[in-house]
Amino acid sequence: MKALKVVIIGMALVLAGALQAQVAVNINIGSPPMWGPVGYSSARYYYLPDVEAYYDVPSSMFIYQSKGIWIHRTYLPVRYRSYDLYHGYKVVMTDYHGDKPYSYHKDYKRKYAKGYKGPAQKNIGDKPGNGNSHAKQNAKSYSKQKANQGGQKSNNKPNKGKGSSNSHGKK
């Protein structure tokens, strides 16, 4: 009887651990990137015509050719380091369900050449630092503060050792 209780408790603990592990695994995996197009939350791949690369949404990896080999990386190759993912066109591969989106690369490359622009796309999120940063808000606040001081005259004469100085001890 005592052994049966131990077995039941052990099974309950294993089951509880498995359920918790299942929950932890499913959280935030496969979330589309903020630069991804709105309306395709279940898409697995995007094709990026301007850089001839694919983006694997669940793994958050770019897939591109390097010396004839398809590689998976969390970043684009160096030659595209300044490529703007927020403004580049993304072809959502809704018709492909395999593990190698590049299997039909010749077709995609022909159909969606560099510079391809299809229907207008709205991104899931805003581009960081593009009107969304504290720096721009601080600049606006500073401008308002200066405008409120409007009628005050500025004294731009050099301070000859008297009073306060903005040089903080530097000459």
pTM score > 0.85 for this model? no
| Mean pLDDT over each residue of the chain, to the nearest integer | 75
Alpha helices in the chain (DSSP H): 2-26, 105-111, 134-148
pLDDT of residue 168: 36
Q: Give 81-131 pLDDT, tens digit per residue.
A: 999 999 999 999 998 999 999 999 999 999 999 999 999 999 999 999 856
Nearest C-alpha neighbor of 88 from the set 41, 46, 60, 130: 46
